[in-house]
Structure 1
């Protein structure tokens, strides 16, 4: 599941809901991973933006690139890692989501 980094937060929310997921990769048009974002990132942006309807509407128009964790800061695993390795890694890092990425794509 991925969206372009230039997608709006509103478009990203629609993707999360339609695909029934809580996190999503932000990828270039050729599939290169640029970052990751979660439903929590969206909620955080909505709360930080302000309480008025105008503030919320403005937050929904922001780009995913404004809220995503950039690829260079991401924690991820590869197809070669075992489930046990991934579980231990996620627990030690305190993360709830960890994408599986092969060759940066």
Structure 2
């Protein structure tokens, strides 16, 4: 269970991002197209300056009555982004998410963004591993006993 968070990354290494001057609507369109719950905000296509999530959309846009078509993403994104490295253990990433009350964390090595991992991604992989272990235990328990030979 000490496997790295890089094992959980989806989308084949595609980093879904948008520029800070883009609108919330443009961000939502991109998120929907890629079927993701968050989008990174990159300055000059390189520098991470924020993250925007479905929760941000609800709390910072919808509840405040802002127009998604005219509101810049930079006004409603989370600026202080927690980033983990690809070799961070999954259990550590899950702990950070629970303590910080966040569901998405960017994963990076050195200066290169590798993607975003969600709490759902981590829990999905953990459930798959548990199911595999249970299936193997069932096979072992249900295995026919070795034949006994007379004598």
If the length of structure 2 is used for normalisation, what is the TM-score?
Answer: 0.58
- Helix, strand or coil: the match of 1:69? coil
Partner of 2:17: 2
Aligned length: 96
Matches for 1:90-101 after TM superposition, within 5 Å? 90-101=97-108
Shift of 1:104: 4.6
Q: Deviations over 1:16-72 (max 9, x none)?
A: 1001011110002241101111112122212212xxxxxx6x3421111011111xx
- Rounded to whole Å, the distance in 2 between the matches of 1:95 and 1:85 is 13
Q: Which aligned pairs between 1:37-52 and structure 2 lie closer than 5 A?
A: 37-44=52-59, 45-49=61-65
Partner of 1:14: 29
For residue 27 of structure 1, give the secondary structure of its aligned residue in structure 2.
strand
Structure 1: distance between partners of 2:31 and 2:44: 19
Task: For 1:10 and 1:97, locate their aligned partners in 2 and report how far apart those are by CA, in whole Å.
Answer: 20
Work out the CA distance in 2 between the residues paired with 1:47 and 1:37.
15
Aligned positions of 1:16-31 closer than 5 A: 16-31=31-46
Corresponding position: 1:60 with 2:69: yes
Distance 1:85 1:25, change over 3 A: same
| Contact 1:33/1:104, CA 8 A, preserved across alignment | no
Scaled by the length of structure 1, the TM-score of the pair is: 0.80
RMSD over aligned Cα, in angstroms?
1.7
Flag the structure with larger Rg: 2
What stretches of structure 1 move > 6 A for 4+ residues in a row?
Answer: none
Q: Which has the higher strand share?
A: 2
In the aligned structure 1, how far is the partner of 2:17 from the partner of 2:63? 24
